[in-house]
Amino acid sequence: MQRVKKIFSNNLINKLRYMSLIAAIAVVALLILNNIDNGNKQRLEAAPGDDEPYSIYIVAGQSNAEGSNSFLAEMPPGQGLGTHPVDDDADPNDNAHIWWKGADGVGIEDDPNGFVKLLESGGSYVAAGWEESNNTADPSKEGLINFKDLDQPPPIGQLKGQFGSEIGIARELYNQGKRKIIFLKVTYGFQALANTTTPPNIGTPFVPYDWHPDSPGQKSYYHLQQEYADLTDYLNRNNMKYTVDGFFWLQGETDSLDTDWTNQYEANFDYLVNRVKEDMHLHPSAHFVARKFNLRVCTDNGYPAVGNYCGAAYALDIDGATPLNILNSLTINALISIPLNNERIRTVRASMQRVSDKYDWVDMLETDDDQPFYNDFIHLNATAQLKTGERMAKMYKQPYYPRNTAVCPSSRSPHLNIDDYDCDGVLNTAEDNGRGSGCQYTVGGSPEATNNNGNLGDDDADCDGFPDYIDNKNGKGSGLTDVQN
Ligand SMILES: [Ca+2]
Ligand SMILES: [Ca+2]
Ligand SMILES: [Ca+2]
Ligand SMILES: [Ca+2]
């Protein structure tokens, strides 16, 4: 569009009628070429705003992050997929997109000899694997899926028509004026944060892909890093600048199954939030928002009235998600079991809160209220996922400019405001220039370049904490009244 604008501008200057005609023909030709070039492919956002960065939001965790038992088909009346402008068919150009990876839905029970294999392997047999998004409708977009297509079967839509908090988050951000939203979602049910390979922790086939960043092999955090690399490589190849504006974490239930895991949660969670902030180059204004999981509805209602023992989480005096304990949780007479798990649940919840209290960029969403669960009393249903997403998105000020805000001099148009947030005459997309020598970006203590990496949130020439694209003052401070750090 820049080239079209420039030619049109030259055309006005030129007083010669025939030149005007030629220029007009050129404009039409360019527009036609542009249409041919784009075909019928959807853009993520229509111009103006081509130089506005995309916002990546990351959703990660275990089953409630995945959205197990939260189904598109069970969304409340009037709130179904396609009823909101961020996920509708009417104007898909401003829809949110998602790049996801998660459980392939295969379990030990799907293999006729699964349990035999498990026992023979001494606990090392793992049937479960991963599936990732793949845009078969528009292969040029690789794994990037328009929200309007979430109701398609995998690898476009997610497992069994499920969805997590991403739809509620996206709708709230859109309502706040946000466009060009991309989710990166990597989730796997029943995975602990604890490193299950390190003594005294217990390795178990039921937790094959734990979330600890240092777990060896290709576990959940490894997959998250791989998908982050794949997504940002895709964006870079397509000249799409971005910032990483939030991380949403729904996890913790499985760590309450083992006393060692429970006792390590505070240290593990503290480590996770800082690793994420570094590894995924979070925007200085981005927050890590965690849902403080809640099994109160489960413990209050599950046992013994309706014979639902909330799985292993409540009813059994187990310690450790070992094959024997899991087997017992399915078969043992619940009347002789002793529910000691509440203390571990409280410990994990308190650990999450302490880490949140320690960092002003870590927020905790309390859930100890009337949230509707699915019939298993563990998993958020569709209504609850929408509500949870909305709440999580509201927990901090987003690092972007609402449209048509007047921070630029009056001589500049609102469109320039979108493409040049800090009104310094340099387009947002041209402010990917790295950091000052006094504030090198480090990952794990090692310096890492931030220039021309596609991410605009990690560049800071004057080392004042304000990324260059929203910093028009050389020296301390952004010079912009509506930018918070
Ligand atoms: Ca600028
Ligand atoms: Ca950068
Ligand atoms: Ca700065
Ligand atoms: Ca500054």
Q: Per-residue pLDDT for the chain (485 aa), expressed as one digit of tens each?
A: 333 333 333 333 333 344 343 344 443 433 333 333 333 456 666 566 789 999 999 999 999 999 999 999 999 999 999 999 999 999 999 999 999 999 998 888 888 888 788 778 766 788 889 999 999 989 999 999 999 999 999 999 999 999 999 999 999 999 998 999 999 999 999 999 999 888 777 767 778 899 999 999 899 999 999 999 999 999 999 999 999 999 999 999 999 888 899 999 999 999 999 999 999 999 999 999 999 988 777 767 655 544 455 544 444 455 676 766 666 666 554 444 444 477 888 899 999 999 999 999 999 998 866 678 887 778 999 999 999 999 999 999 988 776 656 566 555 555 567 888 888 889 999 999 999 999 999 999 999 999 999 999 999 999 999 999 999 899 999 888 766 54
CA of 282 from ligand 3 middle (Å) equals 15
Q: How far apart are CA 51 and CA 336, in angstroms?
A: 64
- Among all ligands shown, which has an atom nearest to the Cα of 479? 4
**Distance between CA atoms of 176 and 433, rounded to whole angstroms?**
29
Report how far ligand 3's centroid is from the alpha carbon of 359 (Å): 21
CA neighbor of 418 nearest in space, from 1, 43, 49? 49
Pick the ligand that lies closest to the CA of residue 475.
4
Rounded to the nearest angstrom, the distance between the alpha carbon of 467 and the centre of ligand 4 is 8
Residue 429 Cα to ligand 1 midpoint, Å, equals 8
Distance in angstroms (rounded) separating the CA atoms of residues 301 and 105: 28
Tokens of 406: 């007047």
Q: Which residue's entry shows tokens 């979430």? A: 150
Q: Which residues of 248-266 are buried (b: 16+ CB within 10 A; e: fewer)?
A: bbbbbbbbbbbebbbbbbb
CA of 442 to the centre of ligand 1 (A): 25
Supply 447's token pair: 């310096």
pLDDT value, residue 350: 96
Instruction: Report CA(408)–ligand 3 centroid distance (Å).
Output: 18
C-alpha 295 – ligand 2 centre gap (Å) = 41
Query: What is the DSSP secondary structure assignment for residue 435, as one 8-state letter?
Result: B
Q: Find the ligand nearest to 465 CA.
A: 3
Half-sphere exposure of 252 (CA within 13 A, CB side): 25
| 31 Cα: distance to centroid of ligand 4 (angstroms) | 39
Whether 25 contacts 211, CB under 8 Å:
no
CA atoms within 13 A on the CB side of 371: 29
Cα(468) to ligand 4 centroid in Å equals 8
pLDDT of residue 34: 38
Residues bordering ligand 4, an ion, CB closer than 5 Å: 462, 464, 471, 473
Whole-number Å distance, alpha carbon 475 to ligand 4 midpoint, is 4
Distance 53 CA to ligand 4 centre (A): 19
CB 290 within 8 A of CB 357: no
Using DSSP's 3-state secondary structure scheme, residue 97 falls into strand
Rounded to whole angstroms, the Cα distance separating 187 from 220 reads 7
Cβ count within 10 A of residue 157: 20
Find the 162 Cα to ligand 2 centroid distance in Å.
34
| CA 457 – ligand 3 centroid, Å | 10
pLDDT of residue 26: 43
Task: State residue 42's pLDDT score.
Answer: 60
Q: Over the Cα atoms of the chain, what is R_g? A: 25
| Residues constituting the chain | 485
Q: What was the pLDDT predicted at 406? A: 55
Helix (H, G, I), strand (E, B) or coil at 17: helix
| Contact predicate 421/469, CB 8 Å | yes
CA of 272 to the centre of ligand 4 (A): 29
Angle in degrees, 0-180, between the axes of helices 341-358 and 259-279, rounded to the nearest 10: 30
What is the C-alpha separation between 8 and 481, in angstroms, rounded? 35
Report CA(478)–ligand 3 centroid distance (Å). 7
Structure confidence at residue 86 (pLDDT): 98
* 87 CA to centre of ligand 2 in angstroms: 29
Q: Is 0.75 topped by the overall pTM?
A: yes
Rounded Cα gap, residues 211 and 194, in angstroms? 7
Cα of 468 vs centre of ligand 1, distance in Å, is: 7
> How many angstroms does the Cα of residue 399 sit away from the middle of ligand 1?
14
d(CA 7, CA 332): 77
Dist. CA 472 → ligand 4 center (Å): 6
Ligand 2 centroid from CA 111, angstroms: 47
| Ligand located closest to 283 CA | 2
CA distance 415 to 398: 20
**C-alpha 455 – ligand 2 centre gap (Å):** 4
Q: Please, what's the largest Cα pairwise distance for the chain?
A: 95
Give the distance (Å) from ligand 1 centre to CA of residue 48.
15
- Ligand in nearest proximity to the CA of 438: 3
Decide: 266 and 208 in contact? Cβ < 8 Å.
no
Are the C-beta atoms of residues 470 and 428 closer than 8 Å to each other?
no
Q: Which residue has the tokens 């998600």?
A: 321
Ligand with smallest separation from the Cα of 473 = 4
| Distance between Cα 55 and ligand 4 center (Å) | 22
